[in-house]
Amino acid sequence: MVQSLRCVPDRTIITGADFSTGAVKFLAFNLDGEVVASVRLPTDLWHGDPPEEGLSELNLMQLEGQVRASVRAIAARLRESGRLDDWAAAGISATHHTAGRIDKDRVQVRRAICWNDHTLALYHQRGLRRLGGQKKVRELIGGPWAIRYTLSHLVKDEACLPEADWKRTWRILPHGPLAAGWMTGNFDLISISSAASTGIMDLRTGQWEPKMLECLANAEYRRLAWEQLPRIVDQFEPIGPLAEHLALEAGIPLDRRPLVFPTSDDQQAGLVGGGAVEAGQVAVVLGNSAVVNSSGSQPPQSGHLDVMRLNWGPYLWMRCYNNGAGLLHHVFGEKPPFDKLEQQGQKVPPGCQGVSVLPFVAPEPSRNIAKPCFRWLPKEPRQAGVKFRACLEAIAYLIALGIREHEQAGQTIRRITVSGGIARSDLMCRILASVLGRRLERLVSDEGPALGAAVTALAALETYRRRQQGDQEPFQVADAVAVLVKFRDPVDPVPEWVPTYQKGLADFEKRLQKLGR
């Protein structure tokens, strides 16, 4: 039975910040789930000088600036609306696996290597060999070690980072804990969700597993890495209040500073923001990556899904595709005219009269595609509407294969929600529903990870205040979902499209099998 809030007043404002590799979205929600203020900032990634194919890194000094600027800006927006004093808690979502190094002065030692960095495959293979393969990894941590996991960064560091920088490093931290550190001044803590995406945490115990560091050949580097990891904390333990210097800079009274709670990697946040916190509920997030997430009390029974842990206990089952919005940006530029493309795509019949696209503008390890493979079949069309619809259909086919993997791994799917930037497209949602042959639940908010971060912060704030009053009953994330996550009209399959897409999916899968050999 869903609980009601007992300790958080009705006028409370909860913020959710989504630090992604594409942008920062800092949203303020009231307890009706409505956005009352928002700030959006760009993110610029480093690709080498000269650019190196596949390299993708985030300057940590930029991240520090994003934290400070977004806090100043959201405080200003709330002050303008007379709601600044109602800001009580902040949640943070940030990209999974992305992680960097800082020294004792909180200065960058190494940029954060991003989740979509494609230079890691060699180092991942090297580390796996040293450990004895994925079977040994599963024995150690209860799940796989995928290429993009933070542990792969350490193997690359062993080959590329000077010894002096290993010794100068004070903390190795993922994207979210770094943002929380610059928001609070506390860089010593990490959530289960963020730790799970490193490949170093035992998913069964929620504790670091030192034997995973045997992927490094250098014993001194193993020792240093172990000492540089932060402490894993419970979801209800605050990281701290907003740092004093940041509160002064933003004009927030020191006695009214919002609390910042343990962060979510963006996969957990997307799952929560999609309202999918129970087994059988699947969240599809159509952002820079295209993701199919679900959860369960046990890890997947079979298959090759990525497996992590949620802050409140269950396992996160994930299929994350590198090729999401990046496909549309590749075809139409960094700022596609979506409204115009939507109108043009609506006029194109399903199946695009035989036109299709291999959508892999980036490698797709989950499909055994080691190199980019972008190709129009049988040839590139001239009409923008055909291109747009063909791209949406390709993304929908990838999602359908991810849904199938979840089912084959033991998930009994009862509900599918869809969110993320591409989900703003009615055409995308109708195509996906028709490819899946299932109803899709759409969120009022298109910003699933930012909303999910706010939901977890609300659950933590209510529980924290209850405990201060001697009430030990936790306010669960599912309870907070009922408060903040709102749905709009669902999207059903278009019956006359379904046969075309059944054939299209079968053809798409055959092409992938040939590519992945």
Domains and CATH numbers, the chain: 13-266 (3.30.420.40), 276-442+487-515 (3.30.420.40)
Q: Tell me the three state secondary structure of residue 165.
A: helix
- Residues with Cβ < 8 Å from 32, sequence gap 6 or more? none
In sign, the C-alpha dihedral spanning 457, 458, 463, 469 is: positive
- Strand ranges across the sheet with 415-419: 306-309, 315-321, 290-296, 281-286, 415-419, 441-442
DSSP characters for 188-207? SEEEHHHHHTTT-EETTTTE
CA angle (58 as vertex; 53, 61 as ends), nearest 5: 145
Report residue 512: phi and psi, to 5°: -65, -40
% of the chain residues with pLDDT over 70? 100
Given a contact cutoff of 8 angstroms between Cβ atoms, the answer to whether 317 and 293 are in contact is yes
Query: What's the one-letter identity of residue 160?
Result: C
What does the pLDDT look like over 354-370, one tens digit per residue?
A: 999 999 999 998 898 98
102 closest CA partner among 21, 186, 44, 17: 186
Given a contact cutoff of 8 angstroms between Cβ atoms, the answer to whether 143 and 180 are in contact is no
How large is the average pLDDT for residues 196-210? 97
Q: Give the bridge partners for 52, in sequence order.
A: none
Given a contact cutoff of 8 angstroms between Cβ atoms, the answer to whether 296 and 406 are in contact is no
% of the chain residues with pLDDT over 90? 87
pLDDT at position 514: 86
How large is the average pLDDT for residues 108-136? 96
In angstroms, the CA 454 to CA 29 distance is 8
In sign, the C-alpha dihedral spanning 459, 461, 462, 468 is: positive
- For residues 27 and 517, the model is more confident at 27
pLDDT at position 516: 66
In angstroms, the CA 460 to CA 458 distance is 5
In sign, the C-alpha dihedral spanning 19, 23, 24, 25 is: negative
DSSP 143: S
The upper half-sphere exposure of residue 376, i.e. CA atoms within 13 Å in the direction of its Cβ, equals 14
Bridge pairing between strands 13-19 and 23-29: antiparallel
Q: Give the bridge partners for 307, in sequence order.
A: 317
Rg over CA atoms, the chain: 22
> 360: which 2 tokens?
């892999």
What does the pLDDT look like over 25-40, one tens digit per residue?
A: 999 999 999 999 999 9
Q: Give the bridge partners for 384, in sequence order.
A: none
- For residues 267 and 177, the model is more confident at 177
| Residue for token pair 């957990």 | 268
pLDDT at position 517: 64
Burial 227-256 (b: 16+ CB within 10 A, else e): ebbbebbebbebbbbbbeebbeebebeeee
Task: Provide the pLDDT confidence category of residue 444 given band limits of 50, 70 and 90.
Answer: confident
CA distances from 66 to 23, 103, 230, 341 (A): 10, 19, 22, 32
> 218: which 2 tokens?
């250098």
What does the pLDDT look like over 449-459, one tens digit per residue?
A: 999 999 999 99
Let me know if 329 is exposed, middle or buried by CB neighbors in 10 A (0-12, 13-18, 19+). middle
Task: Provide the pLDDT confidence category of residue 448 given band limits of 50, 70 and 90.
Answer: confident
- Residue 515 parent element (H or E): helix 498-515
The upper half-sphere exposure of residue 316, i.e. CA atoms within 13 Å in the direction of its Cβ, equals 30
Task: Provide the pLDDT confidence category of residue 421 given band limits of 50, 70 and 90.
Answer: confident
Average pLDDT across the chain, whole number: 95
Report residue 2: phi and psi, to 5°: -70, 135
**67-81, 172-186, 214-228, 317-331: which range is least confident on average?**
317-331
In angstroms, the CA 441 to CA 283 distance is 9
Q: In this model, does residue 133 exceed pLDDT 70?
A: yes
Residue ranges in 335-492 assigned as alpha helix (H): 338-346, 384-408, 426-436, 448-468, 477-484
Q: Tell me the three state secondary structure of residue 74.
A: helix
- Residue 212 parent element (H or E): none
DSSP characters for 297-321? SS--SSS--EEEE-TTSPEEEEEEE
User: pTM for this structure?
Assistant: 0.92
Report residue 194: phi and psi, to 5°: -70, -40
Given a contact cutoff of 8 angstroms between Cβ atoms, the answer to whether 18 and 447 are in contact is yes
- Residues with Cβ < 8 Å from 172, sequence gap 6 or more? 99, 100, 101, 150, 154, 225, 228, 229
The gap between the terminal CA atoms of the chain, to the nearest Å, is 49
